[in-house]
C-alpha cells in the first residue's frame, strides 16, 4: 500500500498473525482462480498488498455504508415477526449492496471481490480494539455473510464449501443406511411424517463433532451417536454461520493483540480513527435516564415484571440454588448494574442471595469481582452490560447464563413458556422460530406476548433494551 500505488506492503499480515514480525511483505500477483475462487469469503488470509491509501479509506467507508443493510436485514426479521414475506424487502437490501458492496457472478468480479476482501480487513483493524466494538463488528459481518450465503446459488454454495476447508465429512450411503431409523426420527420433528422417508433418502448428511452443534442436538434436530452428530443439509446455513462466527471472533482477538504495532504508522492511524468515529456502539454501563436508585429489595419485583427471559432464568436459579457460577454472575451482575443497582446495593443483594456463604467466604470469593465490575478494582474499567449471548460463551452443565431461546432444549423452553401463561399456539410459533434459528425474533415475540398492550416494536437487540421497553410499557 502506498500513495503511488506502485510499492507493495501488507500491514494486515502483521495484524492477523501474532508470530509474524514483518510489516512490509512482498507477494506475487494474485489471481481470481487462486485467491477468489468463489464470491463468498471467510476472510482467513490477508488481502492483496497492492492498494493505495485512498482505497484503504474509501473501501472501508463504503463497507460501513453497506452495513446499512443491517438495518434492512432487521426489517426482514420484523417481517418474520409479522408473518410478512421476505421477498418484499430483499430488493431494498440488494439495492444497498449493489451500490456500496457489489459482489456479482459476472462483470468486474476480481475488483469487486478484492474490494470486499480489503474493506473487511480494514474494518477488522478498526473494530478489534474493545470487546464492545468486536461484538458489533461480528454482528454486522454475520448478518452480511448470512444474507449473501442464503442468496447464493446451489452451485455457488457447493464451490464455497469445497474451498472453505471446513472440517465436515459427508455421510456415505452405508453409514446412512445404518442410521436411517434415527435420522427419520429426528426429521419427524420438522416435517409431516408422510414426507420423512423421501426427505431422508435424498438429503445429504454431514458428520461433525458434537461441540460444533450443541443447539441442534438439544433441540433434537440432529442425531448424536458416540460423540458425532449427523446433520442434514437443511441446517447448512446454521453450520456455516457457526464456523464463520467462531473463526472471525478468534481472528478479531488476534488482531487486537497485534494492533499496537500498527498504531505507530503515522499514515494509517488518523484514517483508522476517522473510520472508527463512524460508529460508536451502544454501551450499557447505565441505562439512559436511570440513576443508582434501584434497591436490593426491589430486584425481585423489577426482574419479574420487566426483565427478559434470560435474566429471569438467572434470577430464578440464583434464588433457588443461592448461587450462580461465574458466567451467570457476570451476565446478571452487569445487567443489574445497568438498570441502576449501585455498588453498595449490589454488595447487599449478592450477599443476601448467597445465603449459604459465610461473610468471610463472600468477601474472599465474590466481593472483589463485584467491585471489579463497577470499575473499583484491578484496571478500574467501567464494564458494560452483556449484549445477547447467542454465538459465544454458551452455558455448560450447571450454568444458567446465555440465551434460553438458543440454549434451552425444546422441552425446557416449552415448559418455561407455558409457565408464563403463553398459549399453545403461541408456544408453537416461538418454538418454530427457534428451530429456524430466529432467536432474536423469538425474544421479541416473547416480549409482545407478555406485553400485549405495548405498541409493535423492532427486533430487540439487547437485554437492557428489553428492560427499557418494558418500563416504557409500565409508564404508558
pLDDT digits (tens, 9 = 90+) for 154-176: 888 888 988 888 888 889 999 99
Say if residue 403 carries a ligand binding annotation.
Answer: yes
Q: Based on the domain organization, do 191 and 125 belong to the same domain?
A: no
Is 110 among the domain residues?
yes
Q: Based on the domain organization, do 424 and 383 belong to the same domain?
A: yes
Is 2 among the domain residues?
no
Report, as an integer, the average pLDDT of 179-196.
86
Q: Based on the domain organization, do 112 and 176 belong to the same domain?
A: no
Q: pLDDT-based confidence at 32, cuts 50/70/90? A: low
Residue 143: the pLDDT is 84
Is 1 among the domain residues?
no
The contacts of residue 266 (CB under 8 Å, 6+ apart) are none
Residue 212: the pLDDT is 80
* Cβ–Cβ < 8 Å for 10, 268: no
What is the spatial distance between Cα 153 and Cα 296, in angstroms, rounded to a whole number?
Answer: 55
Residue 28: the pLDDT is 38
Residue 84: the pLDDT is 65
Is 3 among the domain residues?
no
Answer whether residue 247 shows pLDDT above 90: yes
Provide the mean pLDDT of the chain.
82
Q: Based on the domain organization, do 149 and 252 belong to the same domain?
A: yes
Instruction: Please give the tally of structural domains in the chain.
Output: 3
- The CA–CA distances, whole Å, from 469 to 72, 391, 444, 462 equal 21, 24, 11, 11
Q: Based on the domain organization, do 313 and 450 belong to the same domain?
A: yes
Q: Based on the domain organization, do 24 and 142 belong to the same domain?
A: yes
* Residue 190, C-alpha cell as written in the block: 420438522
Residue 217: the pLDDT is 80
Residue 1: the pLDDT is 45
- The distance in angstroms from the start CA to the end CA of the chain is 56
Identify the top-confidence range among 67-76, 91-100, 221-230.
221-230
Say if residue 188 carries a ligand binding annotation.
Answer: no
Residue 22: the pLDDT is 32
Residue 250: the pLDDT is 94
Q: Based on the domain organization, do 42 and 113 belong to the same domain?
A: yes
Percent of the chain with pLDDT over 70: 81
Answer whether residue 59 shows pLDDT above 50: yes
Say if residue 186 carries a ligand binding annotation.
Answer: no
Q: Determine which of 121-135, 206-220, 423-437 has the lowest per-residue pLDDT on average.
A: 206-220
- CA neighbours closer than 13 Å in the CB half-sphere of residue 455: 4
What is the spatial distance between Cα 11 and Cα 20, in angstroms, rounded to a whole number?
Answer: 11
Q: Based on the domain organization, do 106 and 31 belong to the same domain?
A: yes
Q: Within a 10 A sphere around the Cβ of 176, how many other Cβ atoms?
A: 17
Could you list the residue range(s) of the whole structural domain that residue 47 is in? 11-163+241-276
Q: Based on the domain organization, do 234 and 258 belong to the same domain?
A: no
Answer whether residue 409 shows pLDDT above 80: yes
Answer whether residue 21 shows pLDDT above 50: no
Answer whether residue 398 shows pLDDT above 70: no
pTM of the model: 0.60
Is 284 among the domain residues?
no
Residue 301: burial class (beta carbons within 10 Å; 0-12, 13-18, 19+) = exposed
Report, as an integer, the average pLDDT of 338-364.
93
Q: Determine which of 193-202, 209-218, 288-297 has the lowest per-residue pLDDT on average.
A: 288-297
Percent of the chain with pLDDT over 90: 39
Residue 78: the pLDDT is 66
Residue 392: the pLDDT is 53
What is the spatial distance between Cα 406 and Cα 442, in angstroms, rounded to a whole number?
Answer: 10
What is the spatial distance between Cα 77 and Cα 155, in angstroms, rounded to a whole number?
Answer: 27
Query: In CATH, what number is assigned to the domain containing residue 149?
Result: 1.20.930.80
**pLDDT tens track for 76-125:** 566 667 666 667 667 778 888 898 899 988 778 889 999 999 999 999 99
Is 361 among the domain residues?
yes
Q: Determine which of 29-43, 61-75, 270-284, 386-400 has the lowest per-residue pLDDT on average.
A: 386-400
Is 382 among the domain residues?
yes
Report, as an integer, the average pLDDT of 362-374.
92
Q: Based on the domain organization, do 306 and 445 belong to the same domain?
A: yes
* Residue 90, C-alpha cell as written in the block: 430483499
Q: Based on the domain organization, do 432 and 301 belong to the same domain?
A: yes
- Answer with the residue of higher pLDDT: 45 or 215: 45
Is 192 among the domain residues?
yes
Q: Based on the domain organization, do 229 and 341 belong to the same domain?
A: no
**pLDDT tens track for 433-464:** 888 778 888 999 999 999 998 877 888 888 99
Residue 322: the pLDDT is 93
**pLDDT tens track for 300-345:** 999 999 999 999 999 999 999 999 998 889 999 999 999 999 999 9
Amino acid at each position: 500500500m502506498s500513495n503511488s500505488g506502485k510499492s507493495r506492503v501488507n500491514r494486515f499480515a502483521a495484524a492477523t498473525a501474532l508470530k509474524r514480525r514483518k510489516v512490509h511483505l512482498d507477494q506475487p500477483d494474485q489471481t481470481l482462480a487462486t485467491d477468489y475462487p468463489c464470491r463468498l469469503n471467510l476472510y482467513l488470509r490477508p488481502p492483496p498488498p497492492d492498494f493505495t491509501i485512498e482505497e484503504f479509506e474509501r473501501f472501508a467507508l463504503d463497507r460501513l455504508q453497506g452495513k446499512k443493510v443491517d438495518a434492512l436485514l432487521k426489517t426482514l426479521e420484523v417481517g418474520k415477526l409479522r408473518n410478512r414475506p421476505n421477498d418484499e424487502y430483499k430488493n431494498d437490501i440488494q439495492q444497498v449492496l449493489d451500490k456500496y458492496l457489489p459482489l456479482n457472478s459476472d462483470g468486474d468480479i476480481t475488483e469487486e471481490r478484492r474490494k470486499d476482501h480489503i474493506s473487511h480487513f480494514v474494518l477488522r483493524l478498526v473494530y478489534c480494539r474493545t470487546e464492545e466494538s468486536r461484538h458489533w463488528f461480528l454482528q454486522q459481518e454475520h448478518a452480511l455473510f448470512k444474507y449473501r450465503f442464503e442468496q447464493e446459488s446451489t452451485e455457488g454454495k457447493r464451490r464455497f464449501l469445497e474451498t472453505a476447508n471446513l472440517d465436515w465429512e459427508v455421510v456415505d450411503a452405508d453409514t446412512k443406511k445404518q442410521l436411517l431409523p434415527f435420522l427419520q426420527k429426528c426429521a419427524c420433528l420438522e416435517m409431516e411424517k408422510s414426507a420423512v422417508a423421501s426427505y431422508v433418502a435424498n438429503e445429504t448428511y454431514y458428520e461433525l463433532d458434537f461441540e460444533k452443534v450443541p443447539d441442534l442436538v438439544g433441540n433434537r434436530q440432529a442425531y448424536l451417536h458416540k460423540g458425532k452428530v449427523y446433520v442434514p443439509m437443511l441446517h447448512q446455513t446454521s453450520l456455516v454461520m457457526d464456523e464463520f462466527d467462531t473463526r472471525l471472533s478468534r481472528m478479531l482477538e488476534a488482531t487486537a493483540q497485534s494492533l499496537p504495532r500498527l498504531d505507530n504508522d503515522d499514515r494509517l492511524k488518523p484514517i483508522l480513527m476517522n473510520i472508527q468515529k463512524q460508529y460508536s456502539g451502544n454501551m450499557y454501563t447505565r441505562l439512559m435516564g436511570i440513576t443508582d436508585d434501584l434497591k436490593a429489595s426491589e430486584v425481585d419485583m423489577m426482574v419479574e415484571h420487566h426483565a427478559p427471559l434470560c435474566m429471569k432464568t438467572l434470577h430464578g436459579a440464583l434464588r433457588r440454588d443461592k448461587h450462580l457460577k461465574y458466567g451467570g454472575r457476570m451476565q446478571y451482575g452487569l445487567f443489574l448494574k445497568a438498570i441502576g443497582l449501585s455498588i453498595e446495593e449490589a454488595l447487599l443483594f449478592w450477599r443476601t442471595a448467597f445465603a449459604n456463604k459465610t461473610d468471610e467466604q463472600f468477601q474472599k470469593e465474590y466481593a472483589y469481582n463485584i467491585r471489579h465490575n463497577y470499575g473499583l478494582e484491578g484496571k478500574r474499567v467501567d464494564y458494560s452490560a452483556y449484549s445477547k449471548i447467542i454465538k459465544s460463551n454458551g452455558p455448560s452443565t450447571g450454568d444458567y447464563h446465555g440465551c434460553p431461546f438458543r440454549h434451552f432444549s425444546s422441552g425446557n423452553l416449552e415448559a418455561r413458556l407455558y409457565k408464563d401463561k403463553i398459549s399453545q399456539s403461541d408456544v408453537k410459533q416461538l418454538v418454530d422460530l427457534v428451530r429456524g434459528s430466529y432467536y432474536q425474533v423469538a425474544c421479541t415475540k416473547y416480549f409482545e406476548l407478555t406485553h400485549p398492550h405495548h405498541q409493535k416494536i423492532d427486533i430487540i437487540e439487547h437485554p437492557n433494551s428489553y428492560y427499557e421497553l418494558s418500563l416504557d410499557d409500565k409508564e404508558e
